[in-house]
Structure 1
């Protein structure tokens, strides 16, 4: 029974539960806690499926009554677990390799086409009238990229808010958050996953960067820059300022964006999702399996 329950929990956390959560708006009220909530769902799904595969392997070894349908069911559960675990490590490697290669190309391109700013070594200014603002994250050599069109369209405070927004992405390594979601997303086959955690996490990191810029420059410059740059193009893998404008404007209109009870709820649900299957299912089963093997 334990392998089946863990398998069902893993599949539920991979697809139907995130799909239902994506229909609610409250995680967007607390983006930091919301990111933790989404990550807990994705990680718990991988752990539950892995636990199902391990427990079914031991069940096949220790159980006395092995009917064909039980063997077929447990082999199916084990196969899904092995598939998810293999895809997880393959996704971790491919995401790392793709991300590093993409950022090297992007940095080389903006260094070639952009003009360096002597006051801000990481800043590159493109001679382009289309409004553009994004960052290419990295530990040693990040880049913040803006165009002449962006500088011409924004006021001084709005431009400063945009730079602070992008610096927040770089300093707080929001790119690592998105990469983790990408790995967890790719771990499951397409028919067993939803895009909701990855999509909402992309919005939430923008909300977090907006909060940093708002604390430094106020709501009006951030909102003005967002209106001016809404829909501006961003290269794949970069973090741009122009996405999810409607959600971000709604948050900027709130006089106090803090929602302590929503944060408490998100963190509490995250803890329950990660801990409960282990405490209620995995640990008792492991103790039972250990006792069975010893006797």
Structure 2
């Protein structure tokens, strides 16, 4: 029974639960709590599928004469668990390498073509009339890139808002948050996954950076910068300020999220991770010890 329950939990957390959460609007009002919830759901799904595989393996070696159909069913569950873990670690390796390589190429390019600016040590200004503002996160060699056209179009406070927004991405390493969702998404076969956690988290990290910027310049300057840069694009591997302009502007006009909604989101995140472990994994571990030691 444990493999079946863990498998059902894993599938539910991988598909229908994210689909329902993606239709909700509250995550945009409390982005930090929403990101933690998304992470909890994704991680709990991986752990549940893994637990299903482990408990299946234990069942296969502990049964004396199981029915053929039960053996086939348990082997399929075990194979799914092995596949998920193999895909996860392959994604960690490939996404980390490809994203790092893209950012290194971009950093070399902006260092070659851009001019340093006294506003930020890592700031590079590209002499071009197009509207460009993005960052290339990195542990030691991050870059914030803006074009001369962006500087000409924004007033001083709006430019401060843009730079504060990009500094927030760099300082909080929002790129690692998104890469984590890419790892977890790639772990599941296409039929068992959804793009909702990664897609919504891309918006949520922009809202977190907006919150940092509005603390520096206020809402008016940030809104002006969002309008001016709406639709501008960042290169692959970078994080830009021009996406989801309408949603971000609407959020600036909304009242703060009530404390109880944020608290509920954090509580659900903890329960999602802890409950399956307590209710299913702990009894299975006890059974495993009995089998191995008995």
Q: Distance in 1 between matches of 2:119 and 2:18?
A: 44
When structure 1 is superposed on structure 2, of 98-107 and 117-126 the one drifting more is 117-126
How far apart are residue 120 of structure 1 and its match? Answer: 2.2
What is the match of residue 99 of structure 1?
A: 99
Q: Distance in 1 between matches of 2:197 and 2:221?
A: 29
How far apart are residue 286 of structure 1 and its match? Answer: 1.7
Structure 1 unmatched runs, 5+:
none
Give deviations 1:210-261, integer Å, cap 9, x for gaps.
001101110000001001101101111211101111221111112x434311
Contact 1:29 1:262 (8 Å CA) reproduced: no
TM (normalized to structure 1)? Answer: 0.97
Instruction: Determine if the alignment matches structure 1 residue 141 to structure 2 residue 169.
Output: no
Contact 1:29 1:259 (8 Å CA) reproduced: no
How far apart are residue 6 of structure 1 and its match? Answer: 0.4
**1:119-198 matched pairs, under 5 angstroms:** 119-198=119-198
What is the match of residue 273 of structure 2?
A: 274
How far apart are residue 288 of structure 1 and its match? Answer: 2.1
How far apart are residue 294 of structure 1 and its match? Answer: 3.4
Q: Distance in 1 between matches of 2:275 and 2:162?
A: 42
Q: Distance in 2 between matches of 1:201 and 1:19?
A: 14
Q: Distance in 2 between matches of 1:262 and 1:231?
A: 32
How far apart are residue 118 of structure 1 and its match? Answer: 3.4
How far apart are residue 293 of structure 1 and its match? Answer: 3.7
TM (normalized to structure 2)? Answer: 0.97
Q: Distance in 2 between matches of 1:10 and 1:238?
A: 32
- Secondary structure at 1:64's aligned position in 2? coil
Contact 1:30 1:259 (8 Å CA) reproduced: no
What is the match of residue 260 of structure 1?
A: 259
Contact 1:134 1:146 (8 Å CA) reproduced: yes
Contact 1:6 1:49 (8 Å CA) reproduced: yes
How far apart are residue 65 of structure 1 and its match? Answer: 4.0
Structure 2 unmatched runs, 5+:
none
What is the match of residue 8 of structure 2?
A: 8
Q: Distance in 2 between matches of 1:62 and 1:276?
A: 26
How far apart are residue 96 of structure 1 and its match? Answer: 1.2
When structure 1 is superposed on structure 2, of 272-281 and 113-122 the one drifting more is 113-122
What is the match of residue 73 of structure 2?
A: 73
Give deviations 1:165-221, integer Å, cap 9, x for gaps.
001111111111111111111111111100000011110110000001101110000
Contact 1:62 1:293 (8 Å CA) reproduced: no
Could you say what the CA RMSD is over the residues aligned between the two structures, in angstroms?
1.1
How far apart are residue 59 of structure 1 and its match? Answer: 0.4
Contact 1:131 1:149 (8 Å CA) reproduced: yes
How far apart are residue 262 of structure 1 and its match? Answer: 1.6
Q: How many residue pairs were aligned?
A: 294
What is the match of residue 20 of structure 2?
A: 20
How far apart are residue 64 of structure 1 and its match? Answer: 3.1
Q: Distance in 2 between matches of 1:119 and 1:4?
A: 57
